[in-house]
Structure 1
């Protein structure tokens, strides 16, 4: 009986183990696969709960879903505490709970902070891999917060980039990105947001803005934009007119139009929800993706629960195989 109880215990996978076991390659493959499963109807996100708690200016919520293809069921609980940086903590705090799809039994608790950053970076990297021009040479970064370095490292692996240009509302944060670019052997230049658009072939926005940082007239034909910061009603990183003028792809259409970057263009009637394509359709070969060298493509990365569950499942499996997880009885 004791052996049965031990086998049915809960795996505890901490942040350190997640960071050591789940790299960019593992995250990319997990996120790409789950986007494909979503597009083919084999994986489904459940409605998101996200609320301001009325304390510490924090947003807290739940993202959950079931991936039948990968047999992953679970929920990510957590949110955004803007004052955490002053306490030496990351602003995003979360934990992933995984359940056995066959029994409903809680099977693992996985630290979600590192995984949130690496899966978000994997999402934009998947979009660059499938939508950016093959000859993209200059990578633009809008934002230099905690997640920006993850974004930069993942993005440069998708194309033969020769330079990084970046802008951030607080310029004093840009040296962090510059140091990563130098480590990667890429020239780095801090410029205005307009100049990022003038130079970049692919642009990642990763901010918490509530107003457009990129305007339609700034963006060159053929640019790919990965909008990764807008995940709440009211947020906005790019001009809605730019969204309406681009060919728009997303992780999940329902979230894109309700709380993603497309929410404003859709609300104004400038963009039809039917014009937004799940990137999983491109991954599965059901949609061609980019169709010309002059087309502006935009990926609305809203951040779906299935991304978190996919990378957490990988972390749990690798931690158990490598003896890096603790197993406890509930």
Structure 2
């Protein structure tokens, strides 16, 4: 078995490589060549942590495995560790033997950012100029850097529950040579693309905060009860997701379906747009919304790419197990 420590990931995986891996796995899922296993995600009753497992099998890429990890909300303040902690395990699909263990923290950040970035590529207005960020934590910086590569944005606006964190995304905007403006939530009407990346259990972005033609990437809701946007917003939008079954059980769609505002048939796979079997955006004024719940196949795709690079560069640790 090969081990790729967390410390090696930054020198191996790029945003471009993560984007390609995620785009390919979305396409494979929509084509029926890859599938995710049911997600296990539970509150463990200790440190207010959420812990779980996401896994799957990509028959096209012959990638089998799982990611184990979760969210420890007090890590940063108590231990100077990031709140999301995870590890990816890969297995030989021919024999079932473990083939690799990979540090999953940076990979999770990169694949989550890649997923919203893929949605922007395929669904956002071609002439999008203003990008809005809801959330300014660790993951938000990855989201913004990846998104800025998909359109010729001219301005970044942002809102966060804790305004003192907004300099995190202001710095990314500055690095890209773009102006940044802190706004109230109703100021999001200026945005052509909005990324929401919080861990909230109550909506902040309301239907009235979004202008016609906007693309929204909802990236924080991945657990029953979580919610970042008003359910009525999904009813106004063309809704796309990584996996429909997961969206209706633990994504933003859970709330819109419970309220009777949309049905399962109203939700489309982003991979179908990538494959050309769904048209995607159907008019300049259509609001499109990507319900990014985070599927195990994304983690496996980027982990497999990292293992191949680590083996080629001689930085993977080989152990017998």
Q: Which residue does the alignment assign to 2:87?
A: 95
Whole-angstrom CA distance in 2 between matches of 1:111 and 1:314: 13
Which residue of structure 1 lines up, in the alignment, with residue 113 of structure 2? 121
Written as runs of structure 1 = structure 2, the 5 A alignment for 1:21-36 is 21-36=12-27
Match of residue 132, structure 1, among 124, 137, 147: 124
Size of the aligned set, in residue pairs, is 320
1:48-76 C-alpha deviation (Å, 9 max, x unpaired)? 11111110101111001000011100010
**Aligned: 1:77 with 2:68:** yes
Quote the Cα distance in structure 1 between the aligned partners of 2:185 and 2:64. 40
Residue 228 of structure 1 is aligned with which of 208, 219, 225? Answer: 219
State the 4+ residue runs in structure 1 displaced beyond 2 angstroms.
none
SS of 1:20's partner is coil
Q: For residues 1-38 of structure 1, give each alpha carbon's deviation from its aligned partner in whole angstroms, at most 9, with x where no partner exists.
A: xxxxxxxxx11101121121111000000000000000
Aligned pairs for 1:226-305 within 5 A: 226-305=217-296
Could you say which residue in structure 1 is the equivalent of 2:36? Answer: 45
Instruction: Report the TM-score when normalising by structure 2.
Output: 0.99
Distance 2:13 2:75 in 1: 24
CA apart distance, 1:127: 0.2
Q: Gapped runs of 5+ residues in structure 2? A: none
Alignment of 1:155 with 2:144, yes or no, is no
Alignment of 1:178 onto 2:167 = no
TM-score by length of 1: 0.96
CA contact (8 A) 2:186 2:208 kept: no
Q: Does 1:320 align with 2:311?
A: yes
Q: CA deviation at 1:269?
A: 1.1
Q: Partner of 2:294: helix, strand, or coil? A: coil
Q: Is the counterpart of residue 104 in structure 1 residue 100 in structure 2? A: no
Q: Confirm whether residue 144 of structure 1 aligns to residue 136 of structure 2.
A: yes
**In the alignment, what sits opposite 1:209?**
200
Alpha-carbon distance in structure 2 between the residues aligned to 1:20 and 1:163: 30
Q: What displacement does 1:179 show? A: 0.9
Aligned with 1:303: secondary structure?
coil
Residue 21 of structure 1 aligns to a residue in which SS?
coil
**Tell me, what secondary structure is at the counterpart of 2:138?**
coil
Unaligned 5+ segments in structure 1 are: 1-9
- In structure 2, what is the Cα distance between the partners aligned to 1:216 and 1:224? 13
For the pair 1:329 / 2:316, whether they are aligned, the reply is no
> Deviation of residue 176 (structure 1)?
1.1
* CA RMSD across the alignment: 0.6
